Chains A and B, each alone.
Chain A
């Protein structure tokens, strides 16, 4: 057997001895590693708290149904404002009651000018 072969066999035997070593982890290290695993798991389970507070306006908007509804609401509000401001002069003739003291709630009071509409004038 050549020197080279002998060296290779020695090395092979040593490698085999090292492979068979397979010692287990020292208990304290094992415990530390598992503690880390538990800590990482716990951190994943409870996400970090939300940072800044949300504006109450955002919450109100969400309550009303989000931006599409808010947009519709805005449009209606603007339209209403326009109608109120741009009141035609002809409406004066409908007899809008001012300072009425009538106790009864006749249709005429609830809907001022309804008699005019009914008559067709």
Chain B
């Protein structure tokens, strides 16, 4: 069972991680519910929509978090930044091993047969188009754009995740967005944006 989120008085990620390091398993449950979905979403996009691989990566990233918990130094870095960094590296490793750096055309799309799901279908079509366009980007551009514009990380945070300068992050996101816009332009009308 997954715990509900959004409590303004909820402890921060670092506090939860430290609590888990002391043996509190409910803290691990909260952290998983809070950070897990973001990691899974990010990994899925990095791995060209391969859900099974993304789940493996997510589990591996969280395992590394559990192991580092007793040594976590509060104030050193954000837990989410650390987790994104580990996830990004795991994804890049898998992409390198599989020899996949360019998008595949036949990404699996979940079928939606439920009646009255038109609104959901439109959203799904739009997201599918975005994911396809993202998959066509070089890995580092995709990583920067997803972290910035979908996961909402700041440029300094992305710089920490990718181990590059803030300026390099800006350059990557700018190039990535230009390429995305160019890739999506022919589909603008189809996606209902005109």
Contacts and interface: CB of A to CB of B under 8 A. Distances in A.
Interface of A: 3-4, 6-11, 13-15, 17-19, 21-27, 29-30, 32-34, 36-38, 40-41, 44-45
24 contacts: A3-B185, A4-B181, A8-B181, A9-B193, A10-B181, A10-B185, A10-B188, A10-B193, A11-B177, A11-B180, A13-B193, A14-B126, A14-B130, A14-B191, A17-B127, A25-B36, A26-B55, A29-B59, A33-B36, A36-B59, A37-B28, A40-B66, A41-B25, A41-B28
A6 B59 contact: no
A19 B150 contact: yes
A91 B191 CA distance: 118
B138 interface: no
B67 A40 contact: yes
A71 B180 CA distance: 79
Nearest to A37: B28
Majority-rule SS of A interface residues:
helix
Contacts of B180: 11
Question: How many of chain B's residues touch chain A, expressed as a range?
Answer: 35 or more
Given A22-B37, A24-B33, A37-B20, A10 B28 contact: no
B127 A34 contact: no
Interface of B: 2, 20, 23, 25, 28-29, 32-33, 36-38, 40-41, 55, 58-59, 62-63, 66-67, 69-70, 123, 126-127, 129-130, 149-150, 152, 177, 180-182, 184-185, 188, 191, 193-194
Which of A7, A11, A13, A29 is most buried by chain B, counting CB atoms within 10 A of its CB? A11
B40 A18 contact: no
Contact of B32 (A14, A22, A25, A44): A25
A4 B129 CA distance: 19
Contacts of B126: 13-14, 17
